[in-house]
Amino acid sequence: MMNSPVTTIIILINIAIFGLVNTKKLDVGSLGSSYMMTIQNHQYHRVITSAFTQREVMHLFCNMYSLYNIGTTLERALGKELYILFYALIMVVGGLLSARIKKKKSPFTLSIGASGVLCGLFGIYMVIAFSIWGFAGIRSMIPTIVILVAMTLSPKIDSVGHFTGLLTGLICGIVVVNMYSFVAY
């Protein structure tokens, strides 16, 4: 993990916030993002705090395991600065889009978790894989895509957040493959 210091720090922040939430030192209600709290009440910091907040052990484990797998790979491929930039863009743009889209259907429902950002990182990864190997690069990701789609269908999952994160990540991926060359290693 020392080869991926940014991913390591992000994982440690998530674990620390999980500990604070579960020892009642922080309230999930003050960290989550919703249309009413984030956009209507101009509490834009919530798109950041919500992305570092997991409430249940399995939620934390799945998100951090996924972040470790995809984050370490992308941090090495993109470099620290670009990785931080894209992580932040996905978190903020994806989070704001998600909150705005949910205005009519669920304006008060709080969203938490790193899943939207993870979907965005996966989007970047898919674009890079496609740029190197074509459709063969995407084919190898089908099991992960199936799991993501299945998870998104759960009623407790913020499917809008997953979609906006993925969309933001795909756009970041398109930008990065047009700026840099990637080769198989």
The tens place of each residue's pLDDT in the chain, 185 residues long, gives: 678 999 999 999 999 999 999 999 989 889 988 888 888 899 999 999 999 999 899 989 989 999 999 999 999 999 999 999 999 999 999 999 999 998 888 888 889 999 999 999 999 999 999 999 998 888 888 887 787 777 777 777 888 999 999 999 999 999 999 998 887 76
pTM score, whole prediction: 0.92
Contact 11, 70 (CB under 8 A): no
Domains and CATH numbers, the chain: 5-179 (1.20.1540.10)
Look up tokens 């938490």; give the residue: 112
Nearest to 55 by CA among 90, 12, 20: 20
Q: Which residues contact 39 (CB under 8 A, 6 or more apart)?
A: 96, 99, 100, 103
Residue 129: the pLDDT is: 93
Nearest to 158 by CA among 88, 102, 93, 100: 102
Residue 104: the pLDDT is: 84
**Rounded Cα–Cα distance for residues 128 and 106 (Å):** 34
